Structure 1
Amino acid sequence: MRQRRKIEVSGATLECTLCGSGTPVVLLANAGCSTGYFDDLARVLAAGGLQTISVNMRGTGESRGSLDGTSLHDLAVDVAGVLEALDCGPAHLVGHAFGNRVARCLAADRPSLVRSVTVLAAGGLIGPETPLGAGFRNATEVTMNGSDCVTVLGARWLSPASDPKILAQVECWPAVHLAHLATSRHVALEDWWGAGTAPLLVIQGLDDEAAPPGNGHALREQFGERVRIIDLPRAGHFLVLEQPEVVTRAVAEFVGVGAVPR
């Protein structure tokens, strides 16, 4: 059963999509993107006996709330507020790209609300060779699909082996993308990098230019067996759509789905 809800948290109204019942799994999308591209993953997890909670962060979908002066910690507080409003924690957190920064920050700030963190496209320590976001500043549309973000704005989201058309289902707000990225600018890396003490699954594309795979290896080197890494060839920053079957199976197994439904 699929349900859309708008949940009031401190200073924001967050649009959430709930699917299934059972242990909660929170899905957090890339900066400036709504969570619709998680629908297939949510369906599999719900069929496996879990409840998925896809949270649109401030400024995406129908979520509202100021991003002026907002920090990564504030976005983590938003997600904590959703879990508390639903009275369903602790939860597994699955964060893609920027979304995993929010997930890791929540795990560090409120460990009692978090069972585990899945990091899709780890970043933070090792940055891209050239700065990101320049094309997004030139966007003339309020919203764009992910394919156009790649072909028009130059987003480095895909492996050379991937067709930009796979991102057609991704809905992105370019200005919000930049605003979300800015929330971590003045937050110390150590505040969120290690996700507190939560078990970590890192799935990363070996062709990821935006979040080079050295980040996941650095997490493993620093935190040892608490971190499990899966490196995916022929996948970039949007590995969740570039290698959906592999990513879905790995996430499902990590959060406790037994036999992954097909």
Structure 2
Amino acid sequence: METKDSTAQAAPHAPVSRKLITYPSARDGTPIHIEYADEGDGPAICILPSLARSGRDYDVVAAMLVREGFRVVRPEPRGIGRSKGPMQALDMHDFAADVAAVLDQERIGPLVVVGHAWGSQPARTLAADRPDLVCGVVMAAASAGKLPPGSQEQPYSRLRNAIDGASDPGLSEDERIDCLRRAFFAPGHDPRVWLDGWSIEAHAAQSHARRATPVDDYFSAGQHVPILDLQAEHDAVVIPGVMKPYLGDRVTVQVIRDAGHAMAPEQPRAMADGIAAFARRVYRSRTGA
């Protein structure tokens, strides 16, 4: 099913189609409904959002990529928009399967998949579970999920209270703004743009999936695809420099200046440029052009 969303025009020449697919759960056949945005023509890029947030966070980034000649697909995670399905006892393989169902429906792939923050985990799981669908992975402001032996820090421990507090309806607006400022935004950027747009239901399901899935199921994004580690200069959450020591030349590191963990609302042009340059390299290497 396809509908036109008049409120989500990414650019005058590139209307966004908002679509909905239904597919049966591999576990028990329960119908799962996944909404996704689809815009542009050309080599495809799939963007997966951060914890408890919507693909609409990347409206501006997607529009820029479309103007650069790419097709951009943005699935909404379960619990957000019209994406519906079981929300209990999910793991990263479930979230990756939702994305795979969209790509199979559209018959696109292998493509470059971008995972922002938490979204890097289902992005890498997709690359591991369905290597036929993925030819490159962008980790945008993304935690690796584990650290080199001997490290004294623990993955996901930094600013956990602020990360969770940003979407907590039990906190006051001032408290939530403080959480957003500490965890997500670089100095000088207004964190109020992320006061809205959170899904408590998705937060719980996605947090459970992170805890329930062994990190080695997805850490390396399969065995072969190139990875762009797109780091934010002022990211208070992510411990930088983890992927390349493990995976070597598969990983390219790029730093987005004047950005925090949120990245997309702070530096959409730099984010889009980094993704586009990486995607062009990946697609050129596949075609030999």
* TM-score normalised to structure 2 length: 0.78
For the pair 1:135 / 2:165, whether they are aligned, the reply is yes
Residues 14 and 150 of structure 1, relative CA distance in 2, 3 Å threshold: same
Letter in 2 for 1:209: A
For the pair 1:231 / 2:255, whether they are aligned, the reply is yes
- In the alignment, the residues of structure 2 paired with residue 149 and residue 101 of structure 1 have an alpha-carbon distance, to the nearest angstrom, of 28
Q: Quick check: 1:31–1:178 contact (8 Å CA) kept in 2? A: no
Which of 66, 81, 99 aligns to 2:119? It is: 99
**1:109 paired residue number:** 129
Residues 152 and 13 of structure 1, relative CA distance in 2, 3 Å threshold: farther
CA displacement, residues 194-218 of structure 1 (integer Å, 9 cap, x when unaligned): 11121101111232222222xxx12
Give the C-alpha shift of residue 107 in structure 1.
0.5
- In the alignment, the residues of structure 2 paired with residue 16 and residue 4 of structure 1 have an alpha-carbon distance, to the nearest angstrom, of 6
For the pair 1:205 / 2:246, whether they are aligned, the reply is no
Which of 50, 56, 67 aligns to 2:76? It is: 56
For the pair 1:181 / 2:207, whether they are aligned, the reply is yes
Give the C-alpha shift of residue 129 in structure 1.
3.0
**1:28 paired residue number:** 48
Q: Where in structure 2 are the equivalents of 1:142-157 lying within 5 Å?
A: 150-151=176-177, 156-157=183-184
Tell me the SS of whatever aligns to 2:211: coil
Give the C-alpha shift of residue 127 in structure 1.
2.9
For the pair 1:81 / 2:101, whether they are aligned, the reply is yes
- In the alignment, the residues of structure 2 paired with residue 134 and residue 114 of structure 1 have an alpha-carbon distance, to the nearest angstrom, of 30
- In the alignment, the residues of structure 2 paired with residue 89 and residue 226 of structure 1 have an alpha-carbon distance, to the nearest angstrom, of 20
Say which is worse superposed, 153-162 or 176-185, in terms of deviation: 153-162
Give the C-alpha shift of residue 30 in structure 1.
0.8
Give the C-alpha shift of residue 49 in structure 1.
2.2
**1:191 paired residue number:** 217
Tell me the SS of whatever aligns to 1:127: coil
- In the alignment, the residues of structure 2 paired with residue 138 and residue 22 of structure 1 have an alpha-carbon distance, to the nearest angstrom, of 40
Alpha carbon RMSD of aligned pairs, Å?
Answer: 2.4
Q: Quick check: 2:89–2:205 contact (8 Å CA) kept in 1? A: no
Q: Quick check: 1:9–1:82 contact (8 Å CA) kept in 2? A: no
Residues 136 and 151 of structure 1, relative CA distance in 2, 3 Å threshold: closer
Which of 158, 183, 186 aligns to 2:185? It is: 158
CA displacement, residues 100-150 of structure 1 (integer Å, 9 cap, x when unaligned): 111011001111110111111121123333434552684259xxxxx9894
* TM-score normalised to structure 1 length: 0.86
Q: Quick check: 2:166–2:176 contact (8 Å CA) kept in 1? A: no
Give the C-alpha shift of residue 5 in structure 1.
0.4
Which of 263, 273, 278 aligns to 1:254? It is: 278
- In the alignment, the residues of structure 2 paired with residue 198 and residue 237 of structure 1 have an alpha-carbon distance, to the nearest angstrom, of 24
CA displacement, residues 199-242 of structure 1 (integer Å, 9 cap, x when unaligned): 101111232222222xxx12111111110111234322111222
Structure 1 residue runs of 5 or longer lacking an equivalent are 142-146
- In the alignment, the residues of structure 2 paired with residue 225 and residue 172 of structure 1 have an alpha-carbon distance, to the nearest angstrom, of 36
- In the alignment, the residues of structure 1 paired with residue 98 and residue 273 of structure 2 have an alpha-carbon distance, to the nearest angstrom, of 28
**1:4 paired residue number:** 18
- In the alignment, the residues of structure 2 paired with residue 76 and residue 51 of structure 1 have an alpha-carbon distance, to the nearest angstrom, of 20
Residues 148 and 109 of structure 1, relative CA distance in 2, 3 Å threshold: farther
Q: Quick check: 2:64–2:269 contact (8 Å CA) kept in 1? A: no
> Which of the two has higher C-alpha Rg?
2
Which of 91, 96, 99 aligns to 1:71? It is: 91
**2:149 paired residue number:** none
Letter in 1 for 2:260: G
For the pair 1:38 / 2:58, whether they are aligned, the reply is yes
Say which is worse superposed, 124-133 or 221-230, in terms of deviation: 124-133
